[in-house]
Amino acid sequence: MFRLNHTHDVNALSWVDSAHQHAHFGLQNLPFASFRVPQTDEEFRVGVAIGDEILDLERLCRAKLVNARTQAILNCASGPQLNALMAMGADAWHLLRQDIFEGLHQQNREWRAWQTCLVPQASAEYQLPSHVGDYTDFYASIHHARRVGALFRPDNPLLPNYQWVPIGYHGRASSLQISEHPVFRPYGQLNSSPDSVPVFSPCQRLDYELELAMYVGSGNLQGYPVTIDDAEAHLFGLGLMNDWSARDIQAWEYQPLGPFLSKSFATSLSPWLVSMEALAPYRCALQRETDSPPSLPYLHSEENQQSGGIDIQLEVRLLTPMMREQQQAPHIIGRSNFAHSFWTAAQMLTHHTSNGCNLCPGDVFASGTMSGPEAGQEGCLLELTQGGKVPLILANGEQRTFLQDGDEIIMSAHCRRDGFADIGFGEVRGIVCPAAEYGR
């Protein structure tokens, strides 16, 4: 687990003016992305956010402004995506962060040379920060599990295995997409009653899911599990995720094997990946109810118990076509926190590899819908509208039970703690588009 160091100093300032008091990307954050300038012959390459700018690591590599040790790391980090850097391990990530921090610090006398490596974020487009070979979706919020379970099993909302096993399913990596990519309403089989004949049509109960994506850094060999004590060394960082869900397709298909086409049509990821080292100041104790059973020994360590959680404030907003036309601000429909997660990122990674499953650099596993215990902390419309029974009333008088065509979901996240700088994750956005003409 990364420790606090000088890169977390709240008083540290950058020579990049826009970094001062930036809502997301101050000097203490330095998140990664894969970007390029559109309508040019440029290829995608890795960059680091600082204020409203991107530090182009390919340009930095060519400029040879760092020492030989970091230059070797940059040779890997300046590729189109982060997989090669991820494979290098935690020591390399730490050294690169330190040298980038010092290069962007206001006391760097060579700042003019570094300035030539900046690209405005406003002129960039993005792809996924890593090539994702595999994607797993967990179910780590007990509050989400209870609320959803109560809709279908009022007398037994939480299944007996939930507090023992980090539940997850294998997702579809090919349908992971970058923020702002259109989300087409999916087709599927719908059936409101087990006694009726299903129909094939566009989904009518489209939903969002407020989640965090966890990116694997260095992987593990097949057959060799990662222990809870070593799990953090295999985690590169976190990003925002919206795991779009077709609730009517899901209700018909999920028994007996779980989600399939209801989840594989689109999952949106933010372009920015916040490193685990940047998140060190916001660690917190694992939060569970007092009557929760203790984790099995392979999922327990004192360090994970005391600081395995991360205090990340999450927010989801809805912008409807009417709001857009009337130039109204998006309506906040939910706030939650990753600290409410029943399982830590380290526990999810440990359990994922416990059978010998091999994870690879750049792989993603998701938290599942991050709901909190209180009203207003629901992470999806299925919870918020109690399965569509209680419509959500928006500020302009519109109502929603599930998403309509033209609706845009905007998710954001921040970390805040007294004595440390605020850092953010940027946004993940997606607009619902009508179902495509079938067969074209």
Give the integer Cα–Cα distance in Å for 151 and 381: 13
Q: Considering 24, 94, 143, 144, which one is annotated as catalytic?
A: 144
For strand 187-190 and strand 283-284, is the pairing parallel, antiparallel, or unpaired? Answer: unpaired
Instruction: Please give the C-alpha separations between residue 226 and each of 84, 229, 349, in angstroms, as whole numbers.
Output: 20, 8, 8
The token duo for 329 is: 């601000």
CA-based nearest residue to 368, from 346, 347, 338, 388: 338
Residue 22 designated active-site? no
Residue in 252, 138, 140 with CA at minimum distance from that of residue 195? 252
User: Which amino acid would we find at residue 182?
Assistant: P
Q: Which residues of 216-227 are buried (b: 16+ CB within 10 A; e: fewer)?
A: bbbbbeeeebbe
> How does strand 210-216 pair with strand 168-170?
unpaired
Cα(156)–Cα(148) distance, rounded to whole angstroms?
11
| Cβ contact 25:32 at 8 Å | no
> How many Cβ atoms from other residues are within 10 Å of residue 94's Cβ?
18
The phi-psi region of residue 262 (left if phi > 0; otherwise alpha if psi is between -120 and 50; otherwise beta) is alpha
Paired residues of 121 in beta bridges: none
From CA 62, how far away is CA 84, in angstroms rounded?
Answer: 18
* Residues marked as catalytic: 144
